[in-house]
């Protein structure tokens, strides 16, 4: 299934709603009714049999077993293990005895890991196998769970077919409208998954099996037991996405870059030391340069901080373009920009002054900040504007200067890291557990095993855009500029 | 429209300098020459950073030539035309700032009037170059800038003195030279073997006449340069050390800013060649020497009268369009002439041929 396009989503008050979620009355399944969490534990026993005997023989054996089950429990609508376990002891014993006559005892023995003597004595006694170690049983369950964890795999669909067959054909709770619908129940078990018809049958099985959910109430106690026992019994099997460390030597690029900024700095001091525009543009770009320098010097290419730096590089570049573009609309946009930033510093300073007991060791250097706030104008004349600069957020600024793509493709993504949003947390700070018994949960990446994809090529790309802008504004000797723009990043 | 702040700032600086010289010119030949030169010196001192920025970031990265060791570029003689034949960026090394330093150090009264006239003439030539060749030839106190760098200036003087001392066998310093030498005979006694044939004193000196005759002729020719009653050793030092120090300054500045000196004076070129021969292991020096030799021959052989029939701006465009420099150096290469085996005699015929083609293209 292809992902829906952004344009297919419904955008209302800043929220994109997916096309499916936009359908009225469309609601998500409760956890206990989902395949993985709620139904897989109930039908794992079917999976074990199909796994043990293969699809064709397994389905034939299942036909025998569920037919017997329907005979001894005609009121049962679906072959859930929790419902079987709820049968009286003699019925259970008869059923398990029949199962053991159809399949080997070892087939369902792994389930004795969680269906134990104290709670489920009939089951535990029926399937106890002395020779089967705990780890063997555990391994079998994990292997089967891996194959049926996804609700649309062939193996899952086979299990769902057995459920559907029981629900429709045996218990008669689903009435088919025509002969074709009945035929597919007969054809499905004898056709191979590679058969063309199966491409139609499999979705039909899955959608029809969902009907069962409408009439069934999940057995929370059993689900709790299943997941609780299995998760305690098995270890996390963690894996991390570890993109290769970006160790590319870009010293040559950084030297060229240093030469360019050194030149621009000398140019400023020599030709225009009091020029507010040049002061602001070089100030912003030097801040970008220093952030990039930090990425390189401290090996942050694959880190969270690297993404933070990347975001700043983009924001700085967009802001520079915005200021240049809007210069004619303002009496002095360069001073406005400076005092907007200083005003925000004053606000922080005021909060520190007005709060008692601020830790003197905190990183806010109040004395120095006070000097900066009052550097060129008394703070009594500096207003504080807590809105966006020029009342435009960065997205609007990006659109205004023709950099919507830069914003849309990278800035928004990097903002998740800057603000600690879940996408970024998941990508950078959580490890995946490959154990289906743990429902593929995530665990904290305390030992820093995750290595993110390098920001280096993009950082260089945005830095070069920044330089192109400075070149357009002030002119950078081509010998210097070419050192940067002609730099070819070595292959990773 | 892309901006070029550095180039724009240099253009503005050139205009300011032209205005300053125009304002000072009437007083340059008179009593207030000291204060006028002081103002020029202050002007360059104030703008040294910008000049050096331009040299470091534009001149050093281009195919650049500097017209140097001359008191001025004679616009009446059309020197600006022959200067433009080689290179893409061009500097006129303005000596006015250096004159101020000479005067501040004290000069013989006999030289004061000559110097005043020279200063006035140089300023007038500068004004003309700034007006007529603005944007094509940038007037900067090229060599003075090296001396303005505090960390470099003492080293340059030391190198000059060391080069002077190296002419002798058993003289360890300038002080030692003056302690051991008074007369020309004393000097000859201490000179290294065959050195007397290599030391030249004037523009037309070819080293074939006896050393004593050549020296005494030179002293007579430039009598006004020397303080009355000074010894032969002092006159020898003033003459020879002057050329050596000039070559040191030119070589150091050209190496620093990666450009080639365009030296009109034969004797200045000879001393430059002599000195630079000791630095052949520096990668840029062999090529610099070769191009300096070609440049000098151009100023000797070029018929500037023919070139100056074309308006300067149009002429500069024509030189680039006809690819004079490229064709000249490829012809020289085809003739087997390289930066390691060149000589004026080998270069001259090929150069003349290319110049004839240029005259025809005008």
- Are B9 and A471 a contacting pair at CB < 8 A? no
Give the SS3 label for residue B342: coil
Q: What is the distance between the alpha carbons of residues A35 and A1, in angstroms, rounded to a whole number?
A: 19
Contact B49 A270 (CB under 8 A): yes
| Residue A469 belongs to a domain | yes
CB A444 within 8 A of CB A431: yes
Q: Chain A contacts of B9, Cβ < 8 Å?
A: 267, 270-271
Among chain A residues, CA nearest to B1: A472
Q: Which residue of A has its CA nearest to B48?
A: A270
Nearest to B50 among A270, A472, A477 (CB): A270
Q: Are residues A133 and A172 in the same domain?
A: yes
The answer to whether A253 and A460 are in contact (CB under 8 A) is yes
Residue pLDDT, tens place only, B194-228: 888 888 888 888 777 888 888 888 888 877 777 77
State whether A215 and A265 are in the same domain: no
Q: What is the pTM of this model?
A: 0.77
Judgement on whether residues A258 and A320 belong to the same structural domain of the protein: yes
Which of A234, A266, A294 is where one domain is finished? A234
Question: A263–B57: do the CB atoms touch at under 8 Å?
Answer: yes
The chain B residue lying nearest A481, using CA atoms, is: B57
Residues of B in contact with A270 (CB under 8 A): 9, 49-50, 53
From A479, which residue of chain B is nearest by alpha-carbon distance? Answer: B61
The H or E element that residue B38 is part of is: helix B33-46
Same domain, A291 and A201: no
Structurally, how many domains does chain A consist of?
Answer: 2
Q: Please say if the pLDDT value at position A11 is more than 90.
A: no
Cα B85 to Cα A466, B134, B329, B335, B350: the distances in Å are 38, 17, 12, 20, 15
| Domain end point (choices A199, A234, A269) | A234
Of B2, B7, B57, the CB nearest to A471: B2
Asked if B3 lies within 8 A of A475 by C-beta distance, the reply is: yes
CA distance B117 to chain A (A): 34
Which pLDDT belongs to residue B31?
Answer: 65
pLDDT tens-digit series, residues A171-203: 887 777 777 777 888 899 999 999 999 998 999
Using a CB-CB cut-off of 8 Å, the residues of chain A touching B62 are 479
Torsion of CA B44, B46, B47, B52, to 10 degrees: 90
Average pLDDT over chain A, rounded to whole? 91
CA distance A477 to chain B (A): 6
Residue A165 lies in domain: 31-234
Distance from CA of B325 to the nearest CA of A (A): 21
Q: Taking CB atoms and an 8 Å limit, are A271 and B58 in contact across chains?
A: no
Query: Is residue A240 included in any domain, yes or no?
Result: no
Whether residue A64 sits in one domain with residue A212: yes
Domain residue ranges of chain B, discontinuous segments joined by +: 5-154+244-361
Is position A23 within any domain? no
Say yes or no: A88 and A177 in one domain.
yes
Q: What is the pLDDT of residue A447?
A: 92
A268 and A395 in a common domain: yes
pLDDT digits (tens, 9 = 90+) for A429-487: 999 998 888 888 899 999 999 999 999 999 999 999 999 999 999 999 988 999 999 99
Q: Is A437 contained in some domain?
A: yes
If DSSP codes are grouped into helix, strand and coil, which group holds residue A250?
coil
* pLDDT tens-digit series, residues A53-84: 999 999 999 999 999 999 999 999 999 999 99
The greatest distance separating any two alpha carbons of chain A, rounded to the nearest whole angstrom, comes to: 99
How far out from the chain centre does Cα A316 lie? 28
CB pairs under 8 A between A and B: 43
pLDDT tens digit sequence for A377-402: 999 999 999 899 988 899 999 999 99
Across A121-260, the runs of DSSP E, i.e. the strands, are 238-239
**A316-364 tens-digit pLDDT:** 999 999 999 999 999 999 999 999 999 999 999 999 999 888 888 899 9
List CB contacts (< 8 A) between A482 and chain B: none
* CB-based contact B6 A475, cutoff 8 Å: yes
In-domain check, residue A246: no
Count of residues for chain B?
362
CB contact under 8 A, B5 and A474: yes
Give the tens place of pLDDT for each residue, B337-349: 999 999 999 999 9
Q: Which of A271, A478, A480 sits opposite B5 (nearest CB)?
A: A271
Are residues A168 and A115 part of one domain?
yes
pLDDT by residue (tens digit) across B83-133? 999 999 999 999 887 777 666 666 666 667 777 888 888 999 999 999 999
Q: Output B98 or A301, whichever has higher pLDDT.
A: A301
Chain A residues 427-466 with a CB less than 8 Å from chain B:
none
Beta-bridge partners for B66:
B91, B261
Shared domain check, A255 and A229: no
Let me know whether A194 and A304 are in one domain. Answer: no
Pair A106, A199 in one domain: yes
pLDDT profile of chain B (362 residues), mean per 10: 83 94 82 77 86 92 93 89 96 86 66 79 92 93 77 77 87 91 90 84 81 86 79 90 90 94 93 89 94 96 93 93 95 95 94 94 86
**Considering the domain boundaries, does residue A367 fall inside one?**
yes
pLDDT over 90 (residue A371) = yes
> How far is the C-alpha of A4 from the C-alpha of A412, rounded, in Å?
19
- Please give the residue of chain A at the shortest CA–CA distance from B51: A270
β partners of residue B67: B92, B262
Distance from CA of B89 to the nearest CA of A (A): 13
Task: Judge: B6–A271 Cβ closer than 8 Å, yes or no.
Answer: yes
Burial of A490 (0-12, 13-18, 19+ CB in 10 A): exposed
Q: What percent of chain B has pLDDT over 90?
A: 52
As given in the structure block, the two tokens for residue B28 are: 């340059």
* In a domain? residue A120: yes
Enumerate residues 251 to 290 of chain A having a beta carbon within 8 A of any beta carbon in chain B. Answer: 263, 266-267, 269-272
Contact state of B6 with A480 under an 8 Å Cβ cutoff? no
Q: Do B49 and A480 touch (CB under 8 A)?
A: no
Within a domain: A118: yes
Residue A3 has pLDDT above 90, yes or no: no
Domain boundary among A178, A205, A234: A234
- Reported as half-sphere exposure (CB side, CA atoms, 13 A), residue A311 has a value of 17
Please state, in angstroms and rounded to a whole number, the distance separating the CA atoms of residues B36 and B32.
6
Structural element, H or E, at residue A86? none
Residues of B within 8 A of A269 (CB-CB) are 49
Which of A259, A270, A474 to substitute to test the interface with B, most B CBs within 10 Å?
Answer: A270
As a whole number of angstroms, the distance between CA B200 and CA B222 comes to: 14
Which residues of A fall within a CB distance of 8 Å from B140? none
Token pair recorded at residue A236: 């996390």
Q: What is the nearest CA distance from B50 to chain A, expressed in angstroms? A: 5
B16 to chain A nearest CA, in Å? 14
* Cα–Cα dist A240/A334, whole Å: 46
A309 and A453 share one domain: yes
The 3-state DSSP class for residue A298 equals coil
Residue B133 DSSP label: S
Q: Which helix (H) or strand (E) holds A288?
A: helix A276-297
A129 touches chain B (CB under 8 A): no
């Amino acid at each position: 299934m292809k992902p829906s396009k952004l344009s297919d989503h419904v955008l209302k008050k800043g929220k994109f709603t997916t096309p499916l979620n936009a359908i009225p009355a469309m609601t998500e399944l409760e956890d206990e009714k989902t395949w993985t969490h709620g139904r897989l534990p109930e039908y794992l026993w079917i999976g074990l049999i199909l796994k043990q005997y293969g699809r064709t023989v397994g389905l034939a054996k299942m036909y025998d077993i569920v037919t017997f089950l329907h005979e001894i429990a005609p009121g049962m609508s679906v072959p859930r293990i929790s419902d079987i376990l709820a049968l009286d002891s003699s019925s259970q014993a008869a059923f398990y005895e029949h199962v053991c006559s159809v399949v080997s005892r070892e087939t369902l023995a792994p389930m004795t890991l969680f269906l134990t003597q104290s709670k489920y004595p009939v089951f535990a006694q029926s399937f106890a196998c002395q020779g089967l170690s705990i780890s063997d049983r555990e391994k079998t369950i994990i292997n089967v769970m891996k194959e049926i964890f996804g609700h649309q795999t062939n193996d899952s669909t086979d299990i769902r077919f057995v459920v559907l067959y029981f629900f429709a054909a045996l218990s008669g709770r689903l009435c088919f409208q025509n002969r074709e619908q009945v035929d597919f129940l007969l054809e499905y078990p004898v056709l191979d998954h590679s058969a063309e018809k199966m491409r139609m049958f499999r979705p039909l099985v899955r959608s029809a099996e969902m009907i069962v959910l409408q009439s069934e109430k999940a057995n929370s106690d059993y689900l709790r037991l299943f997941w609780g026992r299995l998760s305690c019994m098995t270890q996390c099997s963690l894996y991390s996405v570890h993109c290769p460390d970006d160790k590319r030597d870009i010293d040559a690029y950084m030297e060229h870059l240093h030469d360019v900024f050194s030149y621009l700095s000398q140019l400023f001091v020599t030709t225009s030391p009091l020029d507010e525009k040049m002061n602001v543009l070089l100030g912003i770009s030097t801040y970008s340069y220093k952030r990039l320098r930090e990425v390189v010097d401290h090996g942050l290419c694959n880190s969270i901080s690297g993404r933070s730096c990347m975001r700043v590089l983009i924001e700085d570049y967009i802001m520079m373009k915005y200021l240049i573009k809007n210069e004619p609309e303002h009496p002095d946009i360069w001073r406005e920009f400076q005092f907007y930033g200083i005003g925000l510093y004053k606000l922080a300073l005021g909060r520190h002054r007005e709060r008692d007991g601020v830790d003197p060791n905190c990183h806010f250097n109040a004395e120095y900040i006070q000097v900066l706030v009052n550097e060129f104008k008394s703070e009594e004349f500096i207003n504080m504007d807590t809105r966006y600069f020029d009342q435009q957020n960065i997205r609007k600024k990006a659109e205004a200067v023709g950099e919507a793509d830069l914003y849309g493709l990278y800035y928004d993504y990097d903002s998740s890291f800057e603000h600690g949003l879940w996408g970024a947390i998941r990508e950078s700070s959580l490890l995946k557990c490959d154990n289906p018994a743990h429902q593929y949960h995530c665990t904290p990446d305390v030992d820093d095993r995750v290595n993110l994809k390098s920001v280096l090529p993009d950082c260089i790309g945005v830095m070069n855009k920044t330089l192109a802008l400075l070149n357009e504004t002030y002119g950078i000797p081509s010998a210097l500029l070419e050192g940067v723009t002609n730099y070819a990043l070595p292959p990773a | 429209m892309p901006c070029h702040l550095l180039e724009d700032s240099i253009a503005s600086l050139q205009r300011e300098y032209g205005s300053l010289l125009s304002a000072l010119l009437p007083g340059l030949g008179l009593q207030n020459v000291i204060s006028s030169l002081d103002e020029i010196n202050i002007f360059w001192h104030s703008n040294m950073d910008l000049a050096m920025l331009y040299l470091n970031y534009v001149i050093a990265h281009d195919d650049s030539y500097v017209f140097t060791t001359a008191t001025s570029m004679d616009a009446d003689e059309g020197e600006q035309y022959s200067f433009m034949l080689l290179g893409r960026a061009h500097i006129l090394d303005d000596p006015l700032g250096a004159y101020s330093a000479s005067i501040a150090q004290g000069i013989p009264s006999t030289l004061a009037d000559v110097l005043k006239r020279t200063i006035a003439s140089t300023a007038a030539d500068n004004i003309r170059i700034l007006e007529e060749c603005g944007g094509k030839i940038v007037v900067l106190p090229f060599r003075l800038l090296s001396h303005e760098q505090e960390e470099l200036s003492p080293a340059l003087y030391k190198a000059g003195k060391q080069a002077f001392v190296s002419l002798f066998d058993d003289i360890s310093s300038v002080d030692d030279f003056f302690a051991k030498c008074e007369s020309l005979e004393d000097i000859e006694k201490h000179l290294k073997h065959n050195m007397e044939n290599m030391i030249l004193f004037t523009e037309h000196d070819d080293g074939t006449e006896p050393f004593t005759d050549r020296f005494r002729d030179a002293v007579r020719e430039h009598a006004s340069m020397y303080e009355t009653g000074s010894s032969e050793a002092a006159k020898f030092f003033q003459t020879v050390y002057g050329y050596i120090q000039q070559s040191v300054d030119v070589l150091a500045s050209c190496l620093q800013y990666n450009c080639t000196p365009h030296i009109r004076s034969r004797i200045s070129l000879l001393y430059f060649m002599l000195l630079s021969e000791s630095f052949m292991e520096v990668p840029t020096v062999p090529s610099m020497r070769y191009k300096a030799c070609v440049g000098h021959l151009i100023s000797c052989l070029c018929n500037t009268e023919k070139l100056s029939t074309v308006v300067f701006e149009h002429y500069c465009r024509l030189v680039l369009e006809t690819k004079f420099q490229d064709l000249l150096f490829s012809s020289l290469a085809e003739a087997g002439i390289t930066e390691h085996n060149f000589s004026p005699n080998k270069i001259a015929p090929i150069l003349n041929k290319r110049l004839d083609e240029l005259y025809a293209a005008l």
